[in-house]
Amino acid sequence: SVLPRPSRRPSAERAADVVRHAVQAGLLGDEQPVAGFLDVEGVRDSVAALQEAFAETPGVLHTFAAKAASLIPVLRLLADTGMGCEVASPGELRIALDAGFDPARIVFDSPAKTRTELRQALSLGVAVNADSLSELARIDELRPEHSSSVLGLRVNPQVGTGSIGAMSTATATSKFGVPLRDPGMREAIVRAFVERPWLTRLHAHVGSQGCPLELIAAGIAEIHRLAEEINATLGTQRITSLDIGGGLPVNFDDDEVRPTFAEYVSALRTAVPGLFDGRYALVTEFGRSLLAKNGFICALVEYTKNAGGRRIAITHAGAQVATRTVLMPAAWPLRVGAFDAQGRPKDGPMLAQDVAGPCCFAGDVVAHDRELPELAEGDIVTLYDTGAYYFSTPWAYNSLPRPAVYGFTTAEDGGDVRLAVVRPAQSLDEIALESGLEHAGALVALGS
């Protein structure tokens, strides 16, 4: 059984210790005006909470969705906790292998797998979830006779949309999976299993942020019913495992973790009691819910100004790190903390301010009209709950460098902060190389 980890200080308190330490160590300032920080023990706590929630269920493989933190040291940390890895591209497969994941504990999901990618996964023994009946036909052609890969089919249960349409993958017209409720498709899915003795898994993922537990549970109930129908049709348990995806939403309003993994499992037990009777091995694919609240971004306030009666703080954290928040502010709001130039929490009268980024478009604002202690040049803003996606998958807008990322641990009394480099800040030389420096004259030569 998995023992619960002792409770720790709130993440915002630990972040304050780290901000102060980072400033003193020269990791935040004029030369490094933005950086990401990841709480190592917080990540371990989150994994432990997931494992504890499923502790009474045999045969569960918990995989981490690599897209949520495509950083090899982070993936290696997760491998060390016993996690597997879910990947959705050849790049993610490569970094998962480099991070040390056993291929047998890797699951490959993507709606656009090439023949080359499928050959590699099948030769390595990586599990593959086909996204369509056409992909199954391609696997028919490519599958080695003695491949050890577990092979499944992703089904879209078409149970509806959460509050963020772009994050909902079980809509009527979703690009993912075989649409279960379209005319003739249920029969086609059953027939696909009848014709392929090597097809032994069903997969569904309802969505993530904005999807309530009831909607997620409804989607999983649909694939459980389908598995029962297929096995009954075949007269044997052909389907031996269910990949139930991830998608637990994250609370971005305060420090509290809600919903919890325990609440997620409780919702599943209510909606699909047979899911936990041991007849099906289970696979999960959580990402954001494991890391979001365990990371934050710090950025220097470079200037402040007033425009149209509004105070604006120009910082170095904008759309290049907080892309979703800038482009969809209502769906992805972030909490903002204010620190002085020494890394100490600011106090004083609150003032409504916009917190803007460095990108050259007007919408590059991470917080609108936010009540904060008055910010000044040299202060530091902290964007909380950004441990997943934000600093691990930056946008190269304006050729802005990828920020440095550090992992940290803190003592419970706040007196000992330890940092380790996860990824150094991208240099201008690296930006130039990535921008084709070695081929600078290629187009001139082509036209001469």
pLDDT of residue 377: 98
pLDDT of residue 4: 46
- Show me where the domains of the chain are located: 102-286, 293-434
Per-residue pLDDT tens over the stretch 333-369: 999 999 999 999 999 999 999 999 999 999 999 999 9
Class of the CATH-defined domain 293-434: mainly beta
Half-sphere exposure of 230 (CA within 13 A, CB side): 29
- Interatomic CA distance for residues 366 and 368, integer angstroms: 7
- Interatomic CA distance for residues 169 and 160, integer angstroms: 9
Structure tokens at 384: 């909380």
Closest C-alpha among 325, 308, 226, 207 to residue 272: 226
pLDDT of residue 112: 96
- Interatomic CA distance for residues 220 and 205, integer angstroms: 8
**Which helix (H) or strand (E) element contains residue 231?**
helix 213-234
DSSP codes, 366-432: EEEEEEEEPP-TT-EEEEES-TTTTTTS---GGGPPPPEEEEEEE-TTS--EEEEEEEPPPPHHHHH
Sequence-distant (≥ 6) Cβ neighbours of residue 240 within 8 angstroms: 200, 201, 280, 281
Q: Judge contact between 40 and 71, C-beta under 8 A.
A: no
- Interatomic CA distance for residues 169 and 259, integer angstroms: 20
CATH fold of 102-286 reads: TIM Barrel (3.20.20)
- Interatomic CA distance for residues 195 and 347, integer angstroms: 67
Q: Judge contact between 298 and 381, C-beta under 8 A.
A: yes
- Interatomic CA distance for residues 124 and 103, integer angstroms: 6
Helix, strand or coil, per DSSP, at residue 60: strand
pLDDT of residue 169: 79
- Interatomic CA distance for residues 164 and 89, integer angstroms: 24
DSSP codes, 74-90: HHHHHHHTT-EEEE-SH
Structure tokens at 273: 């009691």
Structure tokens at 160: 């509806």
pLDDT of residue 3: 45
Asked whether this chain's domains 102-286 and 293-434 adopt the same fold, the reply is no
Helix, strand or coil, per DSSP, at residue 191: helix
Per-residue pLDDT tens over the stretch 223-270: 999 999 999 999 999 999 999 999 899 999 999 999 999 999 999 999
pLDDT of residue 162: 79
- Interatomic CA distance for residues 421 and 322, integer angstroms: 21
Q: Judge contact between 220 and 244, C-beta under 8 A.
A: yes
Per-residue pLDDT tens over the stretch 389-434: 999 999 999 999 999 999 999 987 767 899 999 999 999 999 999 9
Query: pLDDT means per 10 residues in the chain (448 residues)?
Result: 52 88 95 97 97 92 98 98 98 98 97 97 97 96 92 91 78 87 95 96 89 90 96 96 94 93 96 94 97 97 96 98 95 96 95 98 97 97 97 96 96 83 98 97 91
**Which helix (H) or strand (E) element contains residue 315?**
strand 310-315
pLDDT of residue 2: 45
- Interatomic CA distance for residues 176 and 208, integer angstroms: 14
pLDDT of residue 313: 98
Sole residue written with tokens 């209510």 = 270
Closest C-alpha among 83, 73, 12, 21 to residue 46: 83
Helix, strand or coil, per DSSP, at residue 39: strand
Q: How many helices (H) and strands (E) does the chain have?
A: 13, 18
- Interatomic CA distance for residues 130 and 119, integer angstroms: 13
